[in-house]
Amino acid sequence: MADTALNLLVEELRQPDGRRLWIVDENIPPQLLPPQPNTQVIGNRFDLIRAMRQQGWNAELSDFDLSQWPASSLEKLIYRVSKEKAVVHHLINEAARVLRPDGELILIGDKGEGIKTYARKAQQRLGGSKEEQKQGSVWRVTVSLGEADSALLDDQDYPLLRDFQPADAELYLTKPGLFGWNKIDRGSAFLVENLAAMTGQALPLEGRILDLGCGFGYLALNACATSAALTCTDNNAAALIACRANLNARQFTQAEVIASDAGDSLEGTFDIILCNPPFHAGFGVEGDLTDRFLRQARRLLDSNGTACFVVNQHIPLERKARGLFARIHCHADNGHFKLVQLKEPVNKPQ
Ligand SMILES: C[S@@+](CC[C@H](N)C(=O)[O-])C[C@H]1O[C@@H](n2cnc3c(N)ncnc32)[C@H](O)[C@@H]1O
């Protein structure tokens, strides 16, 4: 299924068109095809955008923000649909604004991902013709811009940050487009409860602290005081925006928020690393993502520091950490999540 969708996408991108925009996310492999003329790329994943730029694509990291594109400026918008409905609706809404008269929105996706419904909604919003090409369960849909319907699809106000106030907890700013944007991750809450015991320090933590895969900043905000030497990093554009906003709202003026792939663009070392690593990448389960986080944690942890990880119970983090840290200790296991403490990084790359 994934291959069929990508084949259709490549076929589409190889068409010699006028000015067009290709929207990419974690479902697009970085080496899908060589740079194409007249094609600008925007996407919400730092690792993907960096890799595409290195190949020569004109690519920009963005939380699917098309606001800098003038109205009626594009001939085509090409998009293999994302997992999150709010993102798809937001981009269909924007297509009606940025496409020229008779411009086309190309949507590619599987029936199981809702492509049939998206095709119908896109035609309703754009008001032009609709053409469907099917290969098995995968559809390529071409919708042209006619008399656009002024009614917007419900995108949950995708671009906007909003307040999120969990019971008995502090207020956070968050938005759709980032992992678990409207909940507190239970694993992360378990980690915060145990941080003092894991680090041997009362909260707020002291020292140079890294929140690796920060999301909207839950771990950092609960572990640190405003004066902390804090760095937060994530791969996802929405997470970087939300985390920065939360830190600003709490006057964490010295904290840095940096885009990276599992911390790879960070320099220096940290006394404490906090991490709830991602498990799913796009439509697949990417085992080596955990390895990438562990290798970067080794590189970034001070020799006297402590990395505190929380993972689903079935992830063999202790085994994966062998050879990277001399001291690996499962601090607690609540039947769903385990907390693993890593110390003394070994064989650090120079
Ligand atoms: C399980 S969430 C944890 C979020 C947050 N720390 C919390 O505790 O709520 C994992 C985070 O890792 C981020 N992530 C996924 N892949 C990444 C990568 N390659 N590099 C950096 N961060 C990544 C996701 O965007 C997400 O914010």
Domain assignments of the chain as residue spans, ordered by start: 2-145, 162-345
- Ligand 1 centroid to 278 CA: how many Å? 5
Q: What is the pTM of this model?
A: 0.96
Q: Say yes or no: CB of residue 223 within 6 Å of ligand 1.
A: no
**What is the predicted pLDDT for the residue at 288?**
87
Instruction: Convert 210-248 to b/e letters by CB count within 10 Å (16 or more is b).
Output: bbbbbbbbbbbbbbbeeebbbbbbbbbbbbbbbbbbbbe
pLDDT higher than 70, residue 287: no
First to last CA, the chain: 42
Indicate the helix (H) or strand (E) that contains 299.
helix 287-300
What CATH number labels 162-345? 3.40.50.150
Q: What is the mean pLDDT of residues 47-68?
A: 98
Rounded to whole angstroms, the Cα distance separating 86 from 47 reads 22
Rounded to whole angstroms, the Cα distance separating 53 from 149 reads 36
Are residues 212 and 274 in contact, defined by beta-carbon separation less than 8 angstroms?
yes
pLDDT band at 348 (very low <50, low <70, confident <90, very high): confident
Mutate which of 211, 214, 243, 289 for ligand 1? The one with the most ligand atoms within 8 Å of its CB, which is: 214
Tell me the pLDDT tens digit for each residue of 168-226. 788 999 999 998 899 999 999 999 999 999 999 999 999 999 999 999 999 999 999 99
CA angle 80, 84, 87 (to 5 degrees): 70
What's the per-residue H, E or C state across 151-171? CCCCCCCCCCCEEECCCCCCC
- Candidates 126, 114, 115, 118; CA nearest to 151 is 126
Other CB atoms within a 10 A radius of the CB of residue 187 amount to 20
Q: Tell me the Cα Rg of the chain.
A: 22
**What is the predicted pLDDT for the residue at 148?**
80
pLDDT higher than 70, residue 280: no
Average pLDDT, the chain: 95
Token look-up 């290195």 returns 54
pLDDT higher than 60, residue 98: yes
* Per-residue tokens: 22: 């290709």
Q: Say yes or no: CB of residue 279 within 6 Å of ligand 1.
A: no
pLDDT band at 285 (very low <50, low <70, confident <90, very high): very low
Q: Which CATH class is domain 2-145?
A: alpha beta
- Ligand 1 centroid to 292 CA: how many Å? 12
Q: Name the residue at shortest CA distance from atom 4 of ligand 1.
A: 215
